[in-house]
Copies of this chain bind each other. A is one copy, B any other.
Amino acid sequence: MGKEGKGNFQLKTPKGTRDWSGTDVVLREQIFTTISNVFKRHGGVTIDTPVFELKDTLTGKYGEDSKLIYDLADQGGEICSLRYDLTVPFARFCAQNAVQNIKRYHIAKVYRRDQPAMTKGRMREFYQCDFDIAGQFDPMLPDAEILRIVKEVFEELPEWKGKFTIKINHRKILDGIFQICGVPEDKIRTISSAVDKLDKSPWEEVRREMVEDKGLAPEVADKIWTYAQLKGGKDVVEKLQAMPEVVANESAKQGLENMALLCDYLEIFEVMPALSVDMSLARGLDYYTGVIYEVVTEGSAPSASAKDVAKKEEKQKKQKKSTDPDEDRSNDPTIGVGSVAAGGRYDELVGMFSGKPIPCVGISFGVDRIFSITKARLDKNREATALRPTEVDVFIMAFGGGKDFTGMLPERMAVAKELWDAGIKAEYLWKAKPKLQNQFKAAENGKVPWAIILGDDELKAGKIKIKEMGLPDGHPEKDGVVVEKNRLVEEIQSRLAGKASLPVRSA
């Protein structure tokens, strides 16, 4: 929230955007680092595309959501829009440069003129972390690599190990099942969207939508339900492969062969324990052509009772009365944040640009949602308070007082210079004659782990004191240790060696 600035001026960021600062940005940077380290481990190279694209590039890619695209004003020249995601710019890049194959990652902001809900991490400006593989390879090998990447990311993020599930399905299996159940060809996409709501709505509600809103025959809907409930490991694939009517359908048969092979690979990669083959997963976007997956976590997509749904609808109706496009939706905590990562195979998107399709498969991590959940878990464990606001390792202080106290500013600066020369992160107080108390306070506020304390007598003897901050009373080194001044850099380096550079330790 902003406040009144000088004059009539509103001192705030635009609706749905926020500043990131303090330990929030420290934690988010750590999440970026963890994710990009995994990407690099798998041979990922980063590309950077402009924050805005020609409007034509985005047109016709997002269906109904196109209304959420931000346009730039027409100030003469080309008509441009802010990117809505990183996938379409990636496909444009591949088409424009006739890319044969690439493993690319991209961590950047995207823009959606949606109703913001801050506490859910739903903003108008937010980060995505995408990894995509383009190119022609033997079946399911890139797909297996992506899912291994998902596993590594969530096992290495603090507070996520063992707390995530990768739901997976395959468009060809879904399409086959819809055909088997008797869904008319022109209703497959819309019925697919209805099935996708099963993570948030009970079957009765989804069935009502299919039959009443979308005109599906009730017996077709009920047949879908017998399949949509299937959920488990590789056994789901085997169960479906044992059903004669399923394998008689060419699309389902192909999809199941894909999935069986993928499960074999994921067995080798030790991803299977985190996987849930889930026939109710459908994913909204039209462009998926093969495997689809999303990652959920405790509380990220709560299953709702019919009563909850009714309540929610009541609330939404009330909200529709408002006409202010910038008004917040109610931050109802019973509404989950949805998936924390999602993706799939999209073999046709690049061809929409160049006419020459390149097979692609990818994953997008919703890093702002991941941030919100990670922060809440750290807070619960009181670990968030342990986050260091800066990476400074050493605070240089002058000890003294009274009228003879010089403040030792040149001496403190000279020590700082010596440490910086050696690459050591160091600060001192920008005051000519600082009180010792204020210097300690500054070091404590910054959670700086080490202090160097300059004293007249010690300096004359070529000595200097090093003190570890925060030692308990009675610790033998509570008052610090005196070392040779000309060995200062080595003494500090040996104390810093082996300390984790990341502010939160990995789970």
Q: Does A21 contact B (CB under 8 A)?
A: yes
Given A417-B268, A424-B41: A25 and B47 within 8 A (CB)?
yes
Q: Does A313 contact B (CB under 8 A)?
A: no
A427 to nearest B CB, angstroms?
Answer: 4
B76 touching A6, Cβ below 8 Å = no
B390 touching A45, Cβ below 8 Å = yes
Taken residue by residue from 368 to 405, chain A's Cβ proximity to chain B (1 for < 8 Å, 0 otherwise) reads as 00000000000000000000011110000000000000
> A5-B355, A76-B325 known; 9 other A-B pairs, CB under 8 Å?
A5-B96, A13-B53, A15-B78, A21-B93, A21-B97, A21-B104, A25-B46, A40-B391, A268-B417
Instruction: List the B residue with the shortest CB-CB distance to A392.
Output: B43
A47 touching B72, Cβ below 8 Å = no
Instruction: Name the contact of A25 in the complex, choosing from B13, B37, B45 (C-beta under 8 A).
Output: B45
A417 touching B113, Cβ below 8 Å = no
A332 to nearest B CB, angstroms?
Answer: 22
Q: How far is the CA of A59 from the CA of B99 in the complex (A)?
A: 42
Q: How far is the CA of A2 from the CA of B351 in the complex (A)?
A: 16
B427 touching A141, Cβ below 8 Å = no
A-B contact list, 11 entries, CB within 8 Å:
A11-B96, A15-B78, A21-B93, A25-B46, A43-B425, A50-B125, A51-B51, A73-B74, A77-B326, A145-B430, A265-B413
Instruction: List the B residue with the shortest CB-CB distance to A423.
Output: B41
Given A72-B73, A75-B70: A93 and B47 within 8 A (CB)?
no
Instruction: Name the contact of A73 in the complex, choosing from B73, B77, B355 (C-beta under 8 A).
Output: B73
Q: Does A138 contact B (CB under 8 A)?
A: yes
Q: How far is the CA of A42 from the CA of B41 in the complex (A)?
A: 30
Q: Does A333 contact B (CB under 8 A)?
A: no
Instruction: Name the contact of A269 in the complex, choosing from B5, B18, B137, B413 (C-beta under 8 A).
Output: B413
Q: How far is the CA of A2 from the CA of B78 in the complex (A)?
A: 14
A138 touching B431, Cβ below 8 Å = yes
Instruction: List the B residue with the shortest CB-CB distance to A13.
Output: B50
Q: Does A455 contact B (CB under 8 A)?
A: no
A81 to nearest B CB, angstroms?
Answer: 9
Q: Among A44, A51, A414, find the residue whose CB has the most chain B CB atoms closer than 10 A.
A: A51
Q: Does A344 contact B (CB under 8 A)?
A: no
Instruction: List the B residue with the shortest CB-CB distance to A21.
Output: B47
Q: How far is the CA of A148 from the CA of B426 in the complex (A)?
A: 13
Chain B residues within 8 Å of A326, by CB? 76-78
Instruction: Name the contact of A430 in the complex, choosing from B48, B138, B425 (C-beta under 8 A).
Output: B138
Instruction: List the B residue with the shortest CB-CB distance to A1.
Output: B96
Instruction: List the B residue with the shortest CB-CB distance to A101.
Output: B430
B269 touching A92, Cβ below 8 Å = no
Given A51-B125, A77-B15, A78-B326: A46 and B72 within 8 A (CB)?
no
Q: Does A450 contact B (CB under 8 A)?
A: no
A481 to nearest B CB, angstroms?
Answer: 24
A353 touching B25, Cβ below 8 Å = no
A49 touching B427, Cβ below 8 Å = no
Q: Does A432 contact B (CB under 8 A)?
A: yes
B19 touching A270, Cβ below 8 Å = no
Chain B residues within 8 Å of A10, by CB? 54, 56
Q: Which of A87-108 contact B (CB under 8 A)?
A: 92-93, 95-97, 104
Q: Does A205 contact B (CB under 8 A)?
A: no
Chain B residues within 8 Å of A141, by CB? 430-431
Q: Does A420 contact B (CB under 8 A)?
A: yes
Q: How far is the CA of A351 from the CA of B9 in the complex (A)?
A: 13
A468 to nearest B CB, angstroms?
Answer: 19
B138 touching A14, Cβ below 8 Å = no
Given A17-B52, A78-B326, A353-B11: A138 and B6 within 8 A (CB)?
no
3 closest A-B pairs by beta carbon, nearest first, are A17-B50, A137-B430, A141-B430
Chain B residues within 8 Å of A5, by CB? 95-96, 353-355
Q: Does A336 contact B (CB under 8 A)?
A: no
Q: How far is the CA of A50 from the CA of B410 in the complex (A)?
A: 40
Q: How far is the CA of A127 from the CA of B444 in the complex (A)?
A: 34
Q: Does A109 contact B (CB under 8 A)?
A: yes
Q: How far is the CA of A432 from the CA of B137 in the complex (A)?
A: 9
B49 touching A19, Cβ below 8 Å = yes
A25 touching B40, Cβ below 8 Å = no
A295 to nearest B CB, angstroms?
Answer: 18
